[in-house]
Homo-oligomer: A and B are copies of this chain.
């Protein structure tokens, strides 16, 4: 049974067995859930859950939890905002944050929340447009038609429309969202309890974290009322209970071809892991420069460490010979079935080899693409701002359909919010990051590469980084606005050294991007579409697509597993948190918890593991019961879940949540956050035991 489940995942095409699957809302296997768990979600149930779910555009999931626009997500999903709102004097990361009154809620400088209002299938429209086209022509047409569809849909800045590529191009759906760009921080605990155990415990279970935060969506300066939101369950998740997770898994690669997986295994993952590991060492030591440097680089370090651990897990999954052999066998079986039918062979037979050839080509331009265009060579917020401004000046005057994808009309509201965000930018950290990435640029392309010579000239990476960061005015939002409004003329005439650097890089970066899009990406897209269609024809359409940071629903149950021969029980309790306290970070509990220890109910469930099929991007997803009530808050997966990128193994792959009772108990007893509890459980008065937290 387990073996079969894995094979199904490998094929990415057979009906998934057991609890596998990140299902789209318009193709949810309600009957399978009923067969397994005795509960069948209705269309109404699915609509309600979908509309109560939320996405944080920066890369997380969330949920609406009150009629008054209160949104629950992870602490690590809002920590960027929390860090941006903090200063050396007011460190909300260290001390937590609680808006005692509505007017105390603080606007996050650059957060966007989306609520999925509608899904429309636009596969036929796009297939018709691209019919008979290949290469550059195929990808130009596809891009233009997508931009057109999105523009037609996005009737105002409050509407966000994304054409989502599903099944590697087997289907295209238009996702229409309600967009909230005024998001305010309501509550966040101290980092020390939100990420208790730190990197050593990250992706591990048993776990003891309160990785929760609350924000609120506003419209026209007022909380945006919500018809749909999740209610709070009475007691939270119980062992064996059916749980649904509604969220936005970022990316899986279960449907990739062997050539693509080999490229991941042998090129992308080893190279990325080396680069990120070096960056990790650098930032770790940068933090020793002083407390302020530590503060301003915490979020960056967390991001890098999290990514290192996740990608290490993925790499190990692909290096597992037995697992990889299954993937190979599945592809061979599909190709045999395709080749056995003259009709299928004609339509699809060549697709795998075409993809493999494109992957080979990619090897040759990989370094230039990554370091010149994809940011690995210029790791700096100011540089990103500069490049956005330089390109906006060129792109915006063009027809919508021929612009670079990130400058289409539908993408503009998000782009502008990022570009004009008042979030602080720290020159010292900027210089360190830019020096590092320029050093890697030189190392990877070689000191004699014409682009490297052009960029560095006679300067060292440090000299250049220091000059362009310290000399730039781009930290000033008004200055950015001026340049944005001033268009091509303002950009061409600018003497800002970061703008000058972006202008210098732009032609080469565009050229390598164009080469990639026209000659490699277009081939992979086109042929991936063919592979996906071949799978539909051979195995049917009762399957889920790879994750694409679009809303999905997974089902499963609260369940332990066996590790190294030992049974791991699925629910931890609050007293375990105190047992794990050593007094030294990352195992040091905050004072608020130590003070509240005697008042906290020791047996309160803290975190739990469930069989839901999730992945990065699902952070912040609500875990709900069959009554669509909150029973927990997804914040992690166990170490075995990391291979979930390539296939689901129900025996050990577990999603990890904060238990709903841990949230209530700590809001009440540790933080005295009455206002939040009242909203989560209206009409249920809370006896406050603890003094209100600072």
Contact = CB atoms under 8 A, between A and B. Distances in A.
A631 B173 CA distance: 70
Interface string A570-614: 000000000000111101000000000000000000000000000
Contact of A583 (B447, B458, B584): B458
A286 interface: yes
A284 interface: yes
Interface stretch (A273-281, A487-495, A537-545, A645-653): A273-281
Nearest to A197: B447
Contacts of A285: 281-286, 432
Contacts of A273: 270, 273-274, 277
Contact of A274 (B312, B442, B459): B312
Contacts of A447: 197, 200-201, 587
A446 B204 contact: yes
Interface string A306-345: 0010001001000100000000000000000000000000
Contact of A281 (B282, B319, B443, B463): B282
A283 to B, nearest CB: 8
Contacts of A277: 273-275, 277-278, 281
Contacts of A312: 274
Interface in A18-67: none
Contact of A443 (B199, B274, B432): B199
A584 B460 contact: yes
Given A266-B319, A458-B583, A200 B281 contact: no
Contacts of A582: 457-460
Contacts of A587: 447
Contacts of A308: 274
Nearest to A588: B460
Contacts of A315: 270
A376 to B, nearest CB: 14
Nearest to A448: B204
Contacts of A443: 199-200
Contact of A280 (B267, B278, B442, B446): B278
Contacts of A442: 200
Contacts of A585: 460
Contacts of A281: 277-285, 436
Contacts of A458: 582-584
A303 to B, nearest CB: 15
Interface in A236-277: 266-267, 270, 273-275, 277
Q: Which of A270, A286, A315 has the most CB of B within 10 A?
A: A270
Interface string A457-487: 1111001000000000000000000000000
Nearest to A305: B443
Q: Which of A273, A289, A308, A463 has the most CB of B within 10 A?
A: A273
A309 to B, nearest CB: 9
Q: Which of A443, A463, A584 has the most CB of B within 10 A?
A: A584
A301 B36 CA distance: 58
A291 to B, nearest CB: 14
Interface string A186-229: 00000000000101110010000000000000000000000000
A312 B288 CA distance: 29
A280 B267 CA distance: 21
A152 B373 CA distance: 65
Contacts of A282: 281-282, 284-285
Contacts of A457: 582
Contacts of A583: 458
Contacts of A584: 458-460, 463
A457 B587 CA distance: 12
A206 to B, nearest CB: 9
Contacts of A204: 446
A525 to B, nearest CB: 25
Nearest to A582: B458
Nearest to A284: B282
Nearest to A271: B312
A512 B266 CA distance: 31
A442 B584 CA distance: 14
A294 to B, nearest CB: 13
A270 B584 CA distance: 31
Nearest to A458: B582
Nearest to A585: B460
A93 to B, nearest CB: 19
A227 to B, nearest CB: 45
A446 B200 contact: yes
Nearest to A443: B200
Interface string A354-367: 00000000000000
Contacts of A459: 582, 584
A446 B199 CA distance: 10
Contacts of A199: 443
Contacts of A289: 288-289
A183 B65 CA distance: 75
Contacts of A460: 582, 584-585
Given A199-B443, A274-B277, A458-B584, 15 more contacts: A200-B442, A200-B446, A270-B270, A270-B273, A273-B274, A274-B312, A277-B277, A280-B281, A281-B282, A281-B283, A281-B284, A281-B436, A282-B284, A289-B289, A460-B585
A-B pairs, top 5 by smallest CB distance, nearest first, are: A281-B281, A281-B282, A285-B285, A460-B584, A278-B281
23 contacts: A200-B442, A200-B446, A267-B319, A270-B315, A270-B319, A274-B277, A275-B277, A277-B277, A277-B278, A278-B278, A278-B280, A278-B281, A278-B284, A279-B281, A281-B282, A281-B283, A282-B285, A283-B285, A284-B285, A285-B286, A288-B289, A459-B582, A460-B585
